[in-house]
Structure 1
Amino acid sequence: MSEQREFAVEAYFLNKYSYVAVKRAFHTHFGIKPRGPVPDRKSIVLWVENFGTTGSVVKKSSGRQWTVTMPENVETVRQSILRSPRRSARKQAVALDISNRSMHRILHEHLHFHPYKMVVVQELSPRDFQNRITACETLLETLPPDTLAFFSDEAHFHISGHVNKQNVHYRSGNNPKELHERPLHSDKVTVWCALSRVRIISPYFFEEDDRAATVNSQRYVDMIKNFFEPALEEMNLGNVWFQQDGAKAHTA
């Protein structure tokens, strides 16, 4: 292989920098058939550049990579991770001139660092934290000691078979181009639930004519009167307090 590279570089200069002439000379010198494999333009360019830079047709390594997880190497990796925790392990290895294998060994076996995904949550302002504390303090001061509080809410559940494509993989020799069709407005049900420290009252489905219905003030009041209140009467729980959020359907 080295002989072929040397010949290609020499032929390149002898033929006045002609890549086509280099390929023809390659066929003749090495007895390669007309349609046989010869170096492409990209390979010849690389060999010529290496020769001009290093005096050799073989690309030389920029330096010896670390292969031993010595304590000083571990500490160097630690400091690099602390400075740039979002940089990938591969890029960290390149920046520190460490082999990728050694980098992963240091991260997992010595530093016990593991990759974690960012979790997206609702943004909270500084005022929200104080409001939470105030609400809890108000409840503790207001509710009598023998009170049983029910906390309630409703949620939507899609019944069309929602698929998270990040968790679905299909292993095959060829791309099956598998598709999952999702309707623009998928079918769903709205379920209400109330829970306390001793009992759960659920589920209640908001429906109309056997189809899921939007929660409005009238349907919400009907649920309270015809479902929640009868359930409380059957349980005979004594002093009960009921909590609901400030949704328009709850307060209109």
Structure 2
Amino acid sequence: MPLNERDRIEILMMIGVGDRMRTQQEVCRLFHEVHPDREPVSQSTVSRIERKYRELGHVRDAPRQGRPKINENVQQDVILSALENPHCTVRQVSRDLNIGKSSVSNIFKKVKYHPYRVRLIHELAEDDFDRRTEFCEYMMDHNNQNNGFIANILFSDEATFFLNGHVNRQNTRYWSQENPHWMQEYHTQHPQKPVLRCVIRLAEIGVIKRSYSSFNTSRSTLRRYGAWKLLGRISIGFEH
């Protein structure tokens, strides 16, 4: 069992001073008598403690090399910050508590906190559920009547770039030890957004259409908000 500073001071007192000094063997025996439930100290340990006191004037541990360990109080402050505001960022906690971002990340990792993303779902009206059923029945009937019906359908997808502070999944997090299944509804029609649609027919990429909502969008605006990065290397053709 390692000796703390108080144990070392006690050993120094057992050594004594002047003509009342004990030998190292006597000190080991006395320490074991006082603390019978602890592991006996060796003569080399007593000698090392005595030499350190004569050279340095104290028996404290020397400062450790390298980066200091994370303080328990700091760790609790970081956890409390996540509990009070699960949407906080590592940068924000680092700035508020005046500690490094790497320390904040290490604490979150240590306590098994994970930054979950929000799941955006389309807002559904009351009659949307009936329309789904009608669409499924329509598709099944026409496919039974014409086997090539599906091949003539144009399948499309779209990417929306909001310019007015709408929720961005890439920048929105929820710190938690368990998945909160965080979802948020959003309107399908919303002002201030360019929408890019990609049309696919028979596994071939068609024309990407540009649509507007309450404002005019230029190519420079799309570049500014990273539209080209999301589109990847697809060959783009615009259609007004």
Tell me which interval the TM-score lies in, with the shorter structure as reference length: under 0.3
| TM-score, length basis structure 1 | 0.26
Scaled by the length of structure 2, the TM-score of the pair is 0.27
